[in-house]
Each structure stands twice: as C-alpha cells, then as structure tokens.
C-alpha cells in the first residue's frame, strides 16, 4: 500500500487530513482564548479527577455510618458535617462525583453507539431504513425525555445500571438526528462524488469521508450531552427513582435534605452547589467547543 | 395548507397510537402488579375476581383494545391508589393546581424574560447584559429542584419570610413559580437578546434610523416585531415542558398537583393513572409543536410549511 504514491484517493485523503489538522489547531487556539471555557475546563477536569480518585481523596467510605454522629453540622472531624444516619457528608459528596461522572460518560458512550450508527444508516441508505428510524425517533420525542425515563424506571426499577440505560435510551435521539442531517448535506459534496467515482465502497465513504467531516458538531453534542445526562440522573434520584442507597447521588442527597432543611442547611446546600457547578462547567466547556469548532455559528 | 395540516394530524395520531402501545406493553411486561401477594394478601378466588373486574386476566391485545376503546370515550378506568375516584376525576382534581402553577409561571416568566432580553440587547456588553446572561445560564443549566432548594434555604430557613411548602395564598406561590419560571425566563431572555441583536443589523432598521425615528421607537415598532418571531418555535414547546417541570417543584414544595400525584403513581405502579398521564402529556406535547408551527406561518408569511 505504501509503495503506491499519489493515487487520486491518496492525494485526496492527504489534502483532507491537512485541512483537518489545521481545523483542529485553529479550534484549539480559539478555545484557549476563551477564558470562561478554559476556567470551566479546569473545574470539569477537577471534578473528573475527584470522581476517579474518590477512594483516595475521601476521608471515609461513602457507606460508613456511625449513628451516634448523625446530623452534625460542619466541624473539624467532619468538614461538611454528617447526614441523617451519621455518614461523613464530604465523603459522600466526593463519591457522588464518581456516580455522576459514571452516569454522564456511560450514557454518552451508549448514546454515541446507538445514535451515530443509526444516524449514519438513515443518512446513508435513505429509503425505508431512514423512514423506520425517523418514525422511532418521532415516537420517542412525543414524550418529554425525563418522563420517558421515569416511566422506564417505574417499569424496570431503579439502580445505577437501569438509570444509565433509561437515560441512554432517550439520549441517542439528538445524536441520531444530528448525524443524519450532517450525512444528508455532506454526501452531496464534491469530494464524496470524487470518492465514489473512483470506486470507494459506501462503507469507506461513510467512515473515511463523511464521519470525520461530521465530527465537530458531534463532539459538541456529546460534550453537552454529559451534563444533560447528569441532570437527568440527579432529577430521577431526587424523586427517589434513580440510584439506590447506600450509593451516593447528589440528586438523592437533595431529596433527603428536604425533610431536615429547616435546621440542617448543610445537607441541602452542598449537594445543590455541586450539581450547579458540574452543570455549569460542562455546559461552558461545550459552548466553548462549539464556538471554537464552528466559527461561523453565532456572531 | 389544509393538506399539510391533514398530513400532520394523521402523523400525530400515528405517533400517539405508537406511544400508547409502547407504554401499554412496557407496563404489562413487568412482574409484579397492584394485587400481588405481599401487597394485598387475598384468597385466590377473591384475587381472580378482582383481576377479572379490572380485566387483567384477558390476553394483552384485548386489554389494550378495550382500554383504548373506553379511553376514547373519556373512561381511563379507576386509579388503583384512589379506588373511590375514576382516573379522570383524579386528574380533574389535581390538574387545575398544576395548571394554575404553570399558567402563573408563563404569565410572569415570559414577559419578564423578553423584557430582560430587550434590555440586554440594547445595553449590549454592559453589566446589565452580563447579569442577564449569568442568570439565564443558571436558569437553563441547573435543575429546578436545585433552584428550589436555594430559594428554600434563603427565604424560608434564613430569612423566614416564606412558608416552606403547601398551596394556599400568594405567599405559597412565590417560590414554586420562581423555581419553575427561571428556566423559561432564561430561554426567552437569551433568544430575545440574540434575535434582537441580529435584527438590529437589518437594512430596514438602518432606514428607520435614517428617517430620524427615535431609538426607542425603532426598537419597539420595527425591530421587536420581527425579533420575537423565532421565540414562537422556542417557547411553544416550553408549555408542556412546564408540565414535567412541575413534578419536581410540586414534590419539593408539597403542592398537591398532578406532578406530585404522578410521582406517587410511579411508586405504587398505578397503571391506569400512569397510562392516562402519559397519553395526556403526549397529546399536549405534540399539539403544542403543531400549534407553534402553524402560528409561525401566520406571523411570518415568509415561512411556508407545505412547500417542502
């Protein structure tokens, strides 16, 4: 393969690769000029590291409870106090980051797998495949996503795995639509025609030409999908229909705090602050990426 | 237009039927029902009787057809958790509360959001603009139960100005409406701002300025009219969104509305109630999408629905 120089396909793909490289370099430069996005990225990375090293950072285990220590205000021994069954609140918040990140990232992984492949199929094949996939999308969008997830959980029960599956089952829709729309516009481009004319197989056209060019908006969508999945998990757990005790979920901690909030303010304040910080930082990173990757959009 | 509408309505009905089938199958696919051994220990004969009474002993497709048949006549069965009421009566009792909460929220949040958007657009890149952007980002990205908790902490716990929950009198309305309204308000503000900024660059605005009209007049009479058009498509779907939004706000502030009732239906696996609520929301949701599309063509003659 390497002995053949300068076949048209090779030249074409070289040109494309060069174009891409400068696109990514430009995007990186634009992203790092955006102070808000960079600050958000720092916070997001800190949250991810907290999630990964939760067992190292946390002063205690998330399920170690001493009933005698229940409902303490922040003090020297328990920096953020204890909850209603005497578990160290700081430790639970730290492990809560892990749960949130697990949910956010695995939901997006599943959503990419389903959404991008179905979107590729629909955009590439058209016809009845497209029709079938789009009708499925339409049915799923006839109900608000969170309601659908609630419904699924009421049927199949909560718990980490089911929560992830329930959110992912709705989460792929936007990615599917986006991929399809990208493929529909991109497949009319001249370079696709050129590739087709030299006999490139549809599969190769899809993976080598269409997908790389559709990548930028997909990356933005996935980045913004992470906080939205965390949002949904927190909401489900808040209703008591998500993560089960003793696993710590910020949403559930807020719900538990509701009965003690009159006195024990710390139980309500800290998890809500963390939810807000997470949502804001990931959203700002996503917005920053969008501005960096698509200079034509906005402004 | 008529043909387009007919097509859309038929599509809607198709989606609606699909939703009902999916919901129905899912609910019946699970082991465990409301008349299980551990929940209500009954002699087998009595249980069989109850199952027959609710039609739970028939094949699934018959149950589905029977259900949809009577649903079309407005009979959604009897709620398992409130056996003295029909589902329709339960919804009729609890929905007005949610509607009032949602309605109040729309009435306050949308005009306020549009106003904030106008101010932010006119005073672009000043501190007012930044504060508006910050508040709208908060309203858009943070779940409303988080906002609700902050309001509780500030106004009920710290300042002791407002009651922590319940539903009766304007004092109990302030926090639920604020928590629910921040999101839609943020959305309205953000879109009004960017849309107005874009419109202000149009030629006819320059013409209006050139004619010597005052800045206020140009904005109110010329720019705003066109800037608000895109809001329809964005805010239309917010209306049913308020229905799901109320779930969280109702739970945290103990408002006796449909949302709170929906949550207890999930805990108790109250099939008739769940099914009816799902159908209701699906109907409301698709109808508002259709309505906002139609409204769009009415307001902006440049948009055509049936061309494509």
- Tell me the domains of chain B and their CATH numbers: 1-308 (1.10.3720.10)
Cβ atoms of A216 and A23 closer than 8 Å: yes
**Could you tell me which chain A residue has the CA closest to the CA of B267?**
A154
- Which residue in B26, B158, B281 is closest to A155 by CB distance? B26
List C-alpha distances in Å: A297 to A177, A287, A289, A290, A292: 19, 11, 12, 8, 10
- Quote the pLDDT of residue B9: 84
Residues of chain B above pLDDT 70, percent: 91
Q: Is residue A200 part of a domain?
A: yes
How does pLDDT run along chain A (299 residues), one tens digit per residue?
Answer: 344 444 555 545 555 555 556 777 888 888 888 888 999 999 999 999 999 998 888 888 888 877 777 777 888 888 888 887 878 888 899 999 999 999 999 999 999 999 999 999 998 888 899 989 988 888 888 777 888 888 888 878 888 999 999 999 888 998 999 999 888 888 888 888 888 888 888 888 888 888 888 888 898 899 999 999 999 999 999 988 888 888 899 988 888 888 887 788 888 899 999 999 999 999 999 988 888 887 555 43
With an 8 Å Cβ cutoff, are A275 and B19 in contact? no
DSSP chain B: -HHHHHHHHHHHHHHHHHHHHHHHHHHHSSS--TT-TTTS---HHHHHHHHHHTTTTS-HHHHHHHHHHHHHTT---B-SS-TTSBHHHHHHHHHHHHHHHHHHHHHHHHHHHHHHHHHHHHTTTSHHHHHHHHHHHHHHHS-HHHHHHHHIIIIIIIS--S-SS--SSHHHHHHHHHHHHHHHHHHHHHHHHHHHHHHTTSHHHHHHHHTT--HHHIIIIIIHHHHTHHHHHHHTTHHHHHHHHHHHHHHHHT--SHHHHHHHHHHHT-HHHHHHHHHHHHHHHHHHHHHHHHHHHHH-TT--SS--
Instruction: Using an 8 Å CB-CB cutoff, list chain B residues near A135.
Output: 14, 18
ipTM value for the complex: 0.81
- Which residues form the domain of A203? 31-58+79-297
Confidence check: pLDDT of B298 > 90: no
Q: B207 to chain A, minimum CA–CA distance in Å?
A: 23
Q: Is residue A201 part of a domain?
A: yes
Q: Is residue A179 part of a domain?
A: yes
Q: Is B135 on the interface with A (CB under 8 A)?
A: no
With an 8 Å Cβ cutoff, are B266 and A279 in contact? no
- Quote the pLDDT of residue A164: 94
- Quote the pLDDT of residue A295: 58
User: Between A195 and B4, whose confidence is greater?
Assistant: A195
The total domain count for chain A is 1
Q: Is residue A10 part of a domain?
A: no
Q: A204 to chain B, minimum CA–CA distance in Å?
A: 31
With an 8 Å Cβ cutoff, are B153 and A268 in contact? yes
**Could you tell me which chain A residue has the CA closest to the CA of B135?**
A280
Q: If pLDDT is split at 50, 70 and 90, which confidence band does B40 have?
A: low
Q: Is residue A199 part of a domain?
A: yes
- Quote the pLDDT of residue A4: 45
Q: If pLDDT is split at 50, 70 and 90, which confidence band does B34 have?
A: low
- Which residue in A135, A155, A275 is closest to B30 by CB distance? A155
Q: Where residue A279 sits, what CATH number does that domain have? A: 1.10.3720.10
- Quote the pLDDT of residue B36: 64
- Quote the pLDDT of residue A5: 47
Q: Is residue A84 part of a domain?
A: yes
- Quote the pLDDT of residue B33: 62
pLDDT digits (tens, 9 = 90+) for B208-238: 888 887 777 787 777 877 777 777 777 776 7
Q: Is B241 on the interface with A (CB under 8 A)?
A: yes
With an 8 Å Cβ cutoff, are A262 and B164 in contact? yes
Confidence check: pLDDT of B175 > 50: yes
With an 8 Å Cβ cutoff, are B194 and A298 in contact? yes
- Quote the pLDDT of residue A299: 39
User: Between B27 and A134, whose confidence is greater?
Assistant: A134
- Quote the pLDDT of residue B306: 52
pLDDT digits (tens, 9 = 90+) for B233-248: 777 767 776 766 688 8
Q: Is B95 on the interface with A (CB under 8 A)?
A: no
Q: Is residue A2 part of a domain?
A: no
- Quote the pLDDT of residue A108: 95
Q: Is residue A12 part of a domain?
A: no
Q: Is B104 on the interface with A (CB under 8 A)?
A: no
pLDDT digits (tens, 9 = 90+) for B248-269: 888 888 888 888 888 888 888 7
Can you read off the two tokens belonging to residue A186?
Answer: 């991109």
């Amino acid at each position: 393969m390497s002995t053949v120089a300068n076949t048209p396909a090779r030249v074409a793909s070289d040109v494309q690769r060069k174009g891409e490289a400068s696109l990514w370099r430009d995007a990186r430069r634009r992203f790092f000029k955006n102070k808000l996005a960079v600050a958000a990225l720092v916070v997001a990375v800190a949250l991810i590291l907290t999630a990964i090293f939760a067992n190292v950072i946390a002063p205690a285990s998330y399920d170690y409870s001493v009933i005698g220590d229940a409902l303490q205000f922040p003090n020297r021994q328990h920096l953020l106090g204890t909850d209603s069954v005497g578990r160290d609140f700081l430790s639970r918040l730290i492990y809560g980051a892990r749960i949130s990140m697990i949910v956010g990232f695995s939901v997006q992984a599943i959503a990419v797998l389903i959404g991008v492949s179905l979107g590729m199929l629909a955009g590439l094949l058209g016809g009845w495949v497209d029709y079938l996939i789009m009708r499925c999308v339409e049915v799923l969008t006839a109900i608000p996503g969170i309601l659908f997830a609630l419904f699924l959980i009421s049927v199949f029960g909560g718990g980490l795995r089911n929560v992830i599956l329930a959110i992912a089952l709705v989460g792929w829709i936007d990615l599917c639509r986006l991929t399809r729309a990208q493929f529909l516009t991109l497949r009319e481009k001249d370079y696709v025609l050129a590739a087709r004319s030299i006999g490139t197989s549809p599969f190769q056209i899809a993976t080598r030409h269409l997908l790389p060019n559709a990548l930028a908006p997909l990356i933005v969508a996935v980045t913004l999908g992470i906080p939205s999945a965390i949002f949904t998990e927190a909401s489900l757990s808040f209703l008591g229909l998500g993560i089960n005790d003793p696993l710590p979920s910020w949403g559930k901690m807020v719900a538990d705090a509701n009965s003690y909030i009159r006195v024990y303010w710390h139980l309500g304040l800290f998890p809500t602050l963390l939810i807000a910080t997470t949502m804001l930082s990931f959203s700002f990173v996503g917005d920053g990426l969008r501005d960096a990757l698509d200079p034509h959009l906005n402004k | 237009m008529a043909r387009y509408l007919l097509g859309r309505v038929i599509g809607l009905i198709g989606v609606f039927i699909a939703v009902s089938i999916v919901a129905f199958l899912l609910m019946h696919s699970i082991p465990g029902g409301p008349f299980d051994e551990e929940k209500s220990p009954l002699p087998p004969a009595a249980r069989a009787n109850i199952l027959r009474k609710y039609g739970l002993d028939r094949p699934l497709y018959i149950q589905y057809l029977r259900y949809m048949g009577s649903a079309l006549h407005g009979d959604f069965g009897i709620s398992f958790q409130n056996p003295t009421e029909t589902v329709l009566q339960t919804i009729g009792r609890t929905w007005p509360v949610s509607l009032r909460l949602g309605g109040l929220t729309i009435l306050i949040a949308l005009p306020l959001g549009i106003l904030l958007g106008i101010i932010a657009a006119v005073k672009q890149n000043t501190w007012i603009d930044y504060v508006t952007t910050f508040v709208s980002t908060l309203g858009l990205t943070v779940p409303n139960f988080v906002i609700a908790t902050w309001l509780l902490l500030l106004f009920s716990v710290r300042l002791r100005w407002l009651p922590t929950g319940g539903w009766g009198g304007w004092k109990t309305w302030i926090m639920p409406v604020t928590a629910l309204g921040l999101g839609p308000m943020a959305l309205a503000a953000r879109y009004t701002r960017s849309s107005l900024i874009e419109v202000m660059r149009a030629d006819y605005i320059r013409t209006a300025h050139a004619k010597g009209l005052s800045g206020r007049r140009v904005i109110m009479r010329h720019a705003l009219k066109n800037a608000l058009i895109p809001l329809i498509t964005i805010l239309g779907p917010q209306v049913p969104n308020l229905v799901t939004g109320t779930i969280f706000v109702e739970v945290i502030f103990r408002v006796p509305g449909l949302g709170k009732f929906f949550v207890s239906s999930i805990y108790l696996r109250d099939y008739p109630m769940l099914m009816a609520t799902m159908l209701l929301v699906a109907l409301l949701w698709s109808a508002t999408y259709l309505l906002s599309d139609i409204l769009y063509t009415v307001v902006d003659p440049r948009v055509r629905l049936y061309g494509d």
